[in-house]
Chains A and B, each alone.
Chain A
Amino acid sequence: QKEVEQNSGPLSVPEGAIASLNCTYSDRGSQSFFWYRQYSGKSPELIMFIYSNGDKEDGRFTAQLNKASQYVSLLIRDSQPSDSATYLCAVNVSGNQFYFGTGTSLTVIP
C-alpha cells in the first residue's frame, strides 16, 4: 500500500467553480501535511500546509485535515485557468521523511 494516495484525474472544472482535491495516507503517525502545485515542466511549489484537524484557509485555497479518517483535501474556490496544474499531496511521517502522492491533474475550463 502506498503511503499517500491521490486520484490521478484528470479533474476538469469550469472557471469560477470549486475544485476539490483529495488525498489519503496510510501512516497514522503522520504529523504534517502539504499541498504543492506543479505546472508542466516546472518544480513543485508549496501552496499550503496543515498540522491540525479542521480547516485552514489561505485566500482562495482551503486545506482540510481529518486524522481519524486519514484524509487531507484541498478546495480551490473561484477556480481560474491559471490554476490548471498538477496538485501534489505530501505527508511528513517523521522529521526527514516526506511521502508524496502521484498528483491530481486539474484543468480549469474558461
Chain B
Amino acid sequence: DAGITQSPRHKVTETGTPVTLRCHQTENHRYMYWYRQDPGHGLRLIHYSYGVKDTDKGEVSDGYSVSRSKTEDFLLTLESATSSQTSVYFCAIGGGTGGNTIYFGEGSWLTVV
C-alpha cells in the first residue's frame, strides 16, 4: 500500500451543498493530486499540489478548490455541488521531477442528487 487514505469513501449529497473530500498520506511525499474518473473520459486531473500551500490547476478545475495546510493532507472542496460532479475521485501521490510513478488512493464515490 502506498499509504494513502481517502475520506469519505462514499457520499451522497444534494445539489448546491458544499462537499469536502480528504486525502491523507503517510509517505511524506511532496506531490499530491486529485483526479476524477468518468466513463468515456478516463482519469482527469483536477488540481495538484507540489508542497504545503502550493497548488495548481489541472484540466478540469472549474467548480473545485483545494487546500494543503500540511504535507500529509490534501483537501478537495466542491463549493456548490452539481450533478455533473457525480464521479469517482482519486487522490494520488508521487510524480514530480523525473516523472516518477504516481500511486492512487482507494477512491471516493460521490453522488450529487
Interface residues of A (CB under 8 A from B): 4, 31-32, 34, 42-46, 49, 51, 88, 90, 92, 94-98, 100-103
Contact = CB atoms under 8 A, between A and B. Distances in A.
A82 B35 CA distance: 26
B42 A102 contact: yes
Interface stretch (B12-20, B72-80, B95-103): B95-103
B99 A101 contact: no
B42 A92 contact: no
Interface of B: 31, 33, 35, 40-45, 48, 50, 56, 90, 95-99, 101-107
B104 A95 contact: no
A103 B42 CA distance: 7
B97 A98 contact: no
Given A51-B99, A100-B42, 13 more contacts: A4-B42, A34-B101, A42-B107, A43-B104, A92-B99, A95-B96, A95-B97, A95-B99, A96-B31, A96-B56, A97-B45, A102-B40, A102-B42
Contacts of A88: 42-43
Among B41, B42, B103, the most chain A Cβ lie within 10 Å of the Cβ of: B42
Contact of A96 (B48, B103, B107): B48
B104 A31 contact: no
